[in-house]
Structure 1
Amino acid sequence: MHEAYEKAKARGVALHRKHWVRVLFEYAIYVLLILFVYFVLIGMPLWKGAVWWLYWVVAHKFVIQGGYAITIGLAALYAFLPLLILFEKDPPQKDEMAEVDLEKSAENAKTTALLIPCYKSANIIGPTLKAALEIFPPENIFVIANGNSETPLDNTEEVCQPYGVNHLWVPIGSKIVAQFAGCYAAKGFENVLLIDDDCALPPNFPIVSDRLKGQVKCIGYTIKSVGPNSSKGTYCQQAQDLEYKMSGLQRAFFGKLGSATFPHGAISIWNTDFLKQTFHEHPGFSVSEDWFFGDSCRRLGGRITMCSSVFVETETPSSVFISGSGSRGGFGEMTIFQQRFKRWNFFFVVGMYYDMKYIMTSWKLGWWEIGAKLAVFQEVYETLIYLLAPFMLPISFIVRPAFSGMLLGVTIGMYIINVIIFNEIHLRLKKERINWIVMIFYYTFYKIALTFINVFSCYWSLYKYARYFAKRHPKVIEDQQAIEVVLSLEQDTDSDFEEVTLPVAAPGVDSTRPASKRLTLTRVEPEHPQHRWPLTDETTTSYPRDSWNKRMSWI
């Protein structure tokens, strides 16, 4: 890690751009976008642009029926093929587990650390920890609060104290940096389970670390959307519930064929050493970090499969456009629009480059690559549809309005049939069926609204890329501040000093930021013995992390 720190300092100098260079880069991109729109897409009156020629091809050469058959055929294939498998059977309830199940669960728990990155989560972390302590011993749980501040932004640490779990303050506002630090804080554990701060693990949650064998390096879990206090929530939250569960089945299907594209960002379990390797491949973007984890995993030759025996709860936005009530932390009570337009969909277009690069150049999974590439191509295909929709749909309705309207209705009907089959077979077997009113009426309009959001977000992101990429983004392993945090942790665990100050920044690096990150170690002892994990003394003493019997907090 010291060698990585020296490389990060040099890399920081190489990547640093002066302010005037960033401004020039940003506005040059704006100019190029304007020139492209006029000279390539419009062209009039100088020449006929690409839009005119697209209209001419559709009107004179392109057979709408045949083109639509191909388009809808691929969409139907991706929609209905996952319905050929079922979710796994529910694991036994905790009080119904046989002795062998309890021993297996305890063994998996001992070798697995639970990492919970969070941002201003004091108001929601309590229930998450309470649920987690039913499964993990407190020594295995690491709450990794983060923010761009030398001191914590809220009292998350005080909330954690009664539970006796490890608390770390990372003075860099980035979820991926928090996960990076967490991996090294949990360096004595073979596996790590990453969850969001609002994920309440069910009492019978299966720690499937024993499935991490061979090329399987990551396992995602199926999730469900809930409202406050595990309620069904609004119609919008119930629609998201259906969407999340369908997505979980699709990922499980492609995981069996080869590899899912990426696990849900809310929860996944990784081999610790392999997850550390992904930070060398991960581009370090703080947006859509879970998607890039999946891309990095597959590039390194790791498969991503799914555990579908349980649905892990996560609270979701309560409306599409207007913020309502809820208890979400970090980013506040967001709407679907804010969540997806500004964050989730940001790398839709750039992701096409990474996906095509993976499809053309990566072959480390052997025969599993076939299924993995089919899953990845679905992402490329969907993004192309979003990009072409503002052109193809109006042109199709101008050329053949009646036929295009009929086909649009058939498309919507196909997806309704798909949802009905999923709800009445797959979710019925899991006793997780969705209300018919939500499924037939609300969900249809919800998906139409999401389609518009996805289309416009693709073009909005093209505009926002100018400013985002005007500043170079190092990988986490190349980020001097991130390395400082990990070095502070390593020095602290090997010494009795309470404060560690690392060397100043390298010449040429932006001097307006702090030269180094300071770390103070404090003890966070449980105030209430009843929060202790219910293991025997013999089992407890066998932990691989004896050095972490004390609780840690970074300030």
Structure 2
Amino acid sequence: MSKHDARRHTMVEDVCVPKHLLSTAKFDSPWELKKWEKSLPENDRVPYTLARSASQKQSGGLSRSKSLGGLARSASLSTLRVPRRPDATRPRSNPPALQLWDEFKKPAPLSPPLEQDEPITPIKETAVHASPPLSANSSDTFASQRSSMEDVYEKAKLRKVALQRKYWVRLLFEISFYTFLILFIYFVLIGMPLWKGAVWWLYWVISNKFVIPGGWAILLGLAFLYAFLPLLILFEKDPPAVLVPTDADLEKQVSNAENTALLIPCYKSAQIIGPTLDAALKIFPAENIFVIANGNSETPLDNTEEVCRPYGVNHLWVPVGSKIVAQFAGCYAAKGFENVLLIDDDCALPPNFPVVSNRLTSSVRCIGYTIKSVGPDSSKGTYCQQAQDLEYKMSGIQRAFFGMLGSATFPHGAISLWNTEFLKQTFNEHPGFSVSEDWFFGDACRRLGGRITMCSSVFVETETPSAVFFASGGSRGGFGEMTVFKQRFKRWNFFFVIGMYYDLKYILTSWKLGWWEIGAKLCVFQEVYETLIYLLAPFVLPISFYVRPSFCGILLGATIGMYIVNVLVFNEIHLRLKKERIDWKVLILYYTFYKIALTGINVFSCYWSLYKYARYFAKRHPKVIEDEEAIGVVLSLERDVEIPTIEENVATTVIPQDADANRAFKRLTLTRVEAPPITMDETRGLWL
């Protein structure tokens, strides 16, 4: 077994806890007693009073020294744990999985009379987020995992029934929503001829009260603060080059990479996953990498697994077409790792990429990375892609600033680093929407009391759309759109309006970050402020130009000029220091018009999303931990017993064939591909 394998394997034997041990639990109230009894699985549920009386007949409590006999009679489950990689020194014979499975289901006998009555802490109600911290000397028992996920799965099935709406109810919801919008537009905004609506009163206020100068002053002031305050900081220094790392840097990088799993959710990515894996294998061992292909099919939609096989990485097929479900399953497939790095299938990690898991603390729970836009084969790409490059880098410095001030709103969806157990907790708060899942990850992280900071020492490449409105063709793989319009109008901006509800709810009700909340709420308020501008722009701008055209034209030009100065300062100072400057032609001739077009897209997408909400929310959406299919694929992984084989150097799975195992849920397929022996080139800091 390699050194990094040994550090993740427990040396403590996992055992089942007999029921008579539970009978010695102490409770402070009947409510706690009832809660404890309900937390037990159905087949193991025993009334506490009966268990207690049976224990008292044994004339005494429990002695740790004399209870080993009872514990020995409980089936040891350590052999049922999924090994990370087959060890060549171990025998290749199959473990007696079926015998252990049958033994596990047998009720444990009562212990013989013991000397002391030593109370045991009552078992709390299990949940997805209740897993204990992972360490080198401790691990979850297979029994507790199975019991926990079985309980969550049963609840998810009930929740699915509760969330179902009949067709006529969904139709009535849509009609009611559209009717409300029509009535709101007429009776509130227009009002004529019954009364004067809000639009008329807005015109009256602007024309008679002359609030244009004051209103523009407020808007310009907020825009100036949000645009120029982030420029007070600089990007971090570049990490050491891979050819000349110091011993300390190399040791830290190796340690962080060993304890971190790389999760790559993908959809029809056979054409683009190769370069991503080439770059990733320079940072991570092959066994740490999990390619999680997904789609609404029992069998893979393309040959991504065949592409992954020569690289020796783990491949999962998740038969549910959802990126967030793929990430959810990946967290449990990589449960032996302390941290996980989530990246998109088109992200190329630079050779000197720093795995900064040492920055994760009790308060900092997520770390984002600054990203850059590239064209095919890491080229600069079109003017549109270079404009997006500047946009992404400016977003990176803003998130880094707010991360220092309190917390960024959310990490880039392309790449983020999480503590594994905390990421599992966020699935309890995540609403489960398949669009803008990264934004809701950030919202859930902050509400759970986790800060989001940024690592700005490197720019991680991600390929972006090649045009704003019209593309000449081609494919970026999966759902990779070829135009900015399609990408943002239909996906990124879909929750702009409903996101104000979550932002205001966070601002008013969440205080778990302590003093860091001040900076975090300032960052969150920026999103509310921008969305309000998008919603009010179709009313305020036409009226303002109608009342005072010359004055509003001057102020609008001043606003555009302010942002141009902001871009020039950022390009000539911040990006020059990082040797990432954008070409002057892009800045002067293209970027301004690109941002104006983007503003128009944002404005119209807000109103388009309001129209689409009727159909989207007519169907109720479960959280990830309430999704029967999501829990089902994870439960199939928890129930499987992996048995190493030599055939084709692929580790397959064998499933215990008891009646309980024959489930109707969709089954996740995990293929652990045997890579060549992994060694570390200490002179270059690379995994070979």
When the two structures are superposed, what TM-score results if normalisation uses the length of structure 1? 0.92
- Asked if 1:299 is matched to 2:447, the reply is yes
C-alpha RMSD of matched pairs (Å): 1.8
Alpha-carbon distance in structure 1 between the residues aligned to 2:515 and 2:503: 18
2:674 corresponds in structure 1 to 525
Structure 2 residue runs of 5 or longer lacking an equivalent are: 1-148, 644-651, 683-688
TM-fit CA distance, 1:214: 2.4
Structure 2 matches for 1:317-466, cutoff 5 A? 317-324=465-472, 327-466=475-614
* Correspondent of 1:498 among 625, 641, 654: 654
Alignment-mate amino acid for residue 142 of structure 1? F
Output the CA distance in 2 between the equivalents of 1:222 and 1:502: 49
Aligned to 1:535: 680
User: Counterpart amino acid of 2:313?
Assistant: V
Structure 1 residue 493 displacement after superposition: 3.9
- Post-superposition offset of 1:518: 2.9
Is the contact between residue 317 and residue 336 of structure 1 (CA under 8 Å) also seen in structure 2?
Answer: yes
Q: 3-state DSSP class of the match of 1:95?
A: coil
Q: Which amino acid aligns with 2:161?
A: V
Quick check: 1:156 aligned with 2:304? Answer: yes
Please tell me whether the aligned partners of residues 408 and 523 of structure 2 are also in contact (alpha carbons under 8 angstroms): yes
**Superposed displacement of residue 219, structure 1:** 0.2
User: Deviation digits for residues 394-418 of structure 1, max 9, x if unmatched?
Assistant: 0000110000001110000000000
Does structure 1 retain, via aligned residues, the 8 Å contact 2:369–2:416? yes
Displacement of 1:524 in angstroms is 2.9
Q: Is the 8 A contact 1:500 1:520 kept in 2?
A: no
Check if 1:516 corresponds to 2:672: no
Question: 1:77-120: per-residue Cα shift (whole Å, max 9, x none)?
Answer: 00000000000000011011112211110000010000000000
5+ residue gaps in structure 1? 505-513, 538-555
User: Relative contact order (C-alpha < 8 Å, sep 6+): which is higher?
Assistant: 1
| More displaced stretch, 316-325 vs 412-421 | 316-325
User: How far, CA to CA, are the matches of 2:433 and 2:189 in structure 1?
Assistant: 31
Matched with 1:545 is none
Q: Distance in 2 between matches of 1:32 and 1:469?
A: 15
Q: Is structure 2 residue 399 aligned with structure 1 residue 251?
A: yes
Q: Which amino acid aligns with 2:680?
A: L
Q: Which residue type is aligned with residue 518 of structure 1?
A: R
Match of 2:295? 147
Any conservation in 2 of the 1:227–1:326 contact (CA below 8 Å)?
Answer: no
Q: Secondary structure at the match of 1:96?
A: coil
* 2:363 partner amino acid: Q
2:348 is matched with which residue: 178, 190, 200?
200
SS of alignment partner, residue 545 of structure 2:
helix
Q: Which residue of 2 aligns with 1:212?
A: 360
Displacement of 1:433 in angstroms is 0.2
Residues 440-490 of structure 1, C-alpha deviation per residue, up to 9 Å, x if partnerless?
A: 120000000000000000000000000000000000000011001001111
Query: 8 Å contact 1:124–1:327 — kept in the other structure?
Result: no
Greater shift, 169-178 or 38-47, is seen at: 38-47
Tell me, yes or no, if structure 1 residue 10 matches structure 2 residue 158: yes
Matches within 5 A, 1:85-100: 85-100=233-248
User: Which range moves more in the overlay, 3-12 or 163-172?
Assistant: 3-12
The C-alpha deviation readout for 1:348-386, integer Å capped at 9, x for no partner, is: 000000000000000000000000000000000000000
- Within 5 A, what are the aligned runs for 1:82-231? 82-231=230-379
1:313 aligns with 2:461: yes
Q: Greater Rg, structure 1 or structure 2? A: 2
Q: Is the 8 A contact 1:133 1:533 kept in 2?
A: no
How far did 1:146 drift?
Answer: 0.3
Q: Quick one: which amino acid aligns to residue 345 of structure 2? A: D
The alignment's TM-score, normalised by the length of structure 2, stands at: 0.74
Conserved 8 A contact 1:499-1:520: no
Residues 521 and 447 (structure 1), Cα distance of their counterparts in 2 relative to 1, 3 Å cut: closer
Aligned to 2:167: 19
* Alpha-carbon distance change, 258 to 501 in structure 1, aligned in 2, over 3 angstroms: farther
Distance 2:656 2:524 in 1: 44
Aligned 8 A contact 1:138 1:163 in 2? yes
Which residue identity is paired with 2:169?
Answer: V
Secondary structure of the equivalent of 1:264?
coil
| Contact kept? 1:502, 1:517, Cα under 8 Å | no
Which residue of the partner structure matches residue 510 of structure 1? none
Q: Structure 1 pair 413/49, CA: closer, same or farther in 2 (3 Å)?
A: same
CA distance in 1, matches of 2:656, 2:592: 56
* Shift in CA distance, 519/501, structure 1 to aligned 2, threshold 3 Å: farther
User: Does the CA contact (< 8 Å) of 2:238 and 2:457 recur in 1?
Assistant: yes
1:121-147 deviation digits (Å, cap 9, x = unpaired): 000000000100000000000000001
- Are the aligned partners of 1:318 and 1:326 in contact in 2 as well (CA < 8 Å)? no
8 Å CA contact retained: 2:305, 2:315: yes
User: Take 1:500 and 1:403, find their aligned partners in 2: how far apart are those partners?
Assistant: 77
Amino acid paired to 2:434: S
Amino acid at match of 1:36: F
Conserved in 1, the CA contact under 8 Å of 2:187 and 2:197?
A: yes
Task: Name the structure 1 match of 2:21.
Answer: none
Q: 1:45 Cα deviation (Å)?
A: 1.4
SS for the counterpart of 2:458 is: strand
8 Å CA contact 1:22, 1:470 repeated in 2? yes
Deviation at 1:261, TM superposition (A): 0.2
SS in 2 for 1:241: helix
Quick check: 42-51 or 415-424, which moved more? 42-51
Change (3 A) 1:501 1:205: farther
- Matches of 1:40 and 1:335 in 2, distance apart? 36
State the one-letter code of the partner of 1:535: M
- Are 1:270 and 2:418 matched, yes or no? yes
- Aligned residue pairs total 525
Instruction: Letter of the 1:443 partner, please give it.
Output: Y
Q: How far apart are residue 502 of structure 1 and its match?
A: 10
User: For residues 329 and 533 of structure 1, do their structure 2 counterparts lie closer, same or farther at Cα, with a shift above 3 Å needed?
Assistant: farther
Report the secondary structure of 2:268's partner residue.
Answer: coil
- For 1:547, the equivalent position in structure 2 comes to none
Alpha-carbon distance in 2 for matches of 1:98, 1:533: 21
Q: Is the 8 A contact 2:316 2:670 kept in 1?
A: no
